[in-house]
Amino acid sequence: MQNKVIIITGASSGIGLACAREFAKRGAKLTLAARSADKLDEIKSELQSKGSDVITVKTDVSIEEDCKNMVDETIKHFGKIDILFNNAGISMRATFKDVDLKVIKQIMDVNFWGTVYSTKYALPYILEQKGSVVGVSSIAGYVGLPGRTGYSSSKFAIHGFLEALRVENLKAGLHVLIAAPGFTASNVRKVALTANGSSQGNTPRKEDKMMKAEDVAVHMANAIIKRKSTLVLTFLEGKFTVFLKKFAPALLRKLTFYHMAKEPNSPFK
C-alpha cells in the first residue's frame, strides 16, 4: 500500500478508523471522510504525528454533492485515487411491521446510495490506476436477518451493484472487493436505528466476544493487496452461514431466526 491513495468513508470509528490506522501503517496516503469533523481532525493529528499524509473531508455519504466534493478534494491534494473503501453505514433493529419506512429509506440512502455516489465520482480516477473499489458489506448481504430488513436490503443491493460493476469492468483492470466482516466490535450497533428512527443506545450483543476492528483491518488490507473478490470473516457466523445459504437454505432460515431471537429484548420471538 506504499504511496497508494485511499479514500475511507465512515472513517471516524469502528472498522473505518481501524483501517485508517492499518493502511497508514502500510504507507498509504489517506482521505478520511465522515460526518464528524472533530473526530476526523483528532485522527488526522494522530496519523500525521506518525508521518502519514492525510486529509479529512466532512462528508455525509447520503448527499451526492458531499461525495463529489470528497473525491474532488482528494484529487486536488493527491492527484490520483487508487482505492475507494466504502465503509460508511448504519444499521437497524425493529420488525418490518413496526418500523417507520423513513428508517429503511435512511439506511438505503447511507449504505446503498452512499456507496453508489462515492463510486460514481471516484471510478474514473480509480480506473486510471487500475485500482480497487471496496464495499464493506455484512453477512446480512448473504442472508436476510430478522429485525434488520432495511439493513439486509441495503447490503443485498450493494452486492448486486458491485458484482455488476465488476463484470462491466472485467477488461478494464478494476479490482472489486465485497467484504463481509461478520459481527465486529464497533460503534455501528450502538447507533443502530429503532422502529421510530432513534438510536438504540447500548448494543444487545456481547461485544467482547466479537472480532476486533483492528483484526478486521488486517484482513481487509491483505485482501486488497491480493485483489480478492470476496472476503468473509469468522467461521460460524460468516463462512458457515454462506455455506448453508448455498446447500441448506431452509435450515439456515431456522438457525438464523433462533440465533437472532436470543438477543436481549429481541423484537421477535
Mean pLDDT for each 10-residue chunk of the chain (269 residues)? 97 96 98 96 97 98 98 98 97 93 97 98 98 96 93 97 98 97 64 82 58 94 98 88 92 90 79
Q: Cell numbers of 39, please?
A: 473526530
Q: Could you tell me which of 41, 160, 165 has the C-alpha nearest to residue 111?
A: 160
Judged on CB neighbours under 10 Å (0-12, 13-18, 19+), 206 is: exposed
- The CATH class, in words, for 5-240 is alpha beta
pLDDT for 261: 85
> What burial letters (b/e) apply to 124-135, b meaning 16+ CB within 10 Å?
ebbeeeebbbbb
| Whole-angstrom distance, CA of residue 78 vs CA of residue 4 | 10
Residue 117 known to be catalytic:
no
Q: In what order do the strands lie in the sheet with 29-34?
A: 54-58, 29-34, 5-9, 83-86, 132-136, 175-180, 230-232
Q: Cell numbers of 18, please?
A: 481501524
Give CA 120 to chain center in angstroms.
Answer: 17
50, HSE (Cβ side, Cα atoms, 13 Å):
16
Residue 200 backbone dihedrals phi, psi, to 5 degrees:
-75, -20
Q: Specify the DSSP class assigned to residue 204.
A: S
Neighbour count for residue 224 (Cβ, 10 Å): 26
pLDDT for 258: 86
Q: Name the active-site residue from 125, 142, 151, 258.
A: 151
pLDDT for 202: 61
| Whole-angstrom distance, CA of residue 225 vs CA of residue 19 | 13
| Whole-angstrom distance, CA of residue 88 vs CA of residue 134 | 11
Radius of gyration of the chain from Cα atoms?
Answer: 18
Give yes or no for a contact between 266 and 98, defined as CB atoms under 8 angstroms apart. no
Contacts of 249 (CB under 8 A, 6+ apart): none
Q: Could you tell me which of 107, 86, 73 has the C-alpha nearest to residue 197?
A: 107
pLDDT for 182: 74
pLDDT for 128: 98
Q: Specify the DSSP class assigned to residue 174.
A: -
Give yes or no for a contact between 172 and 127, defined as CB atoms under 8 angstroms apart. yes
List helix spans (H) across 53-100: 64-78
pLDDT digits (tens, 9 = 90+) for 115-166: 999 999 999 999 999 999 999 999 999 999 999 999 999 999 999 999 999 9
What are the extents of the domains in the chain? 5-240
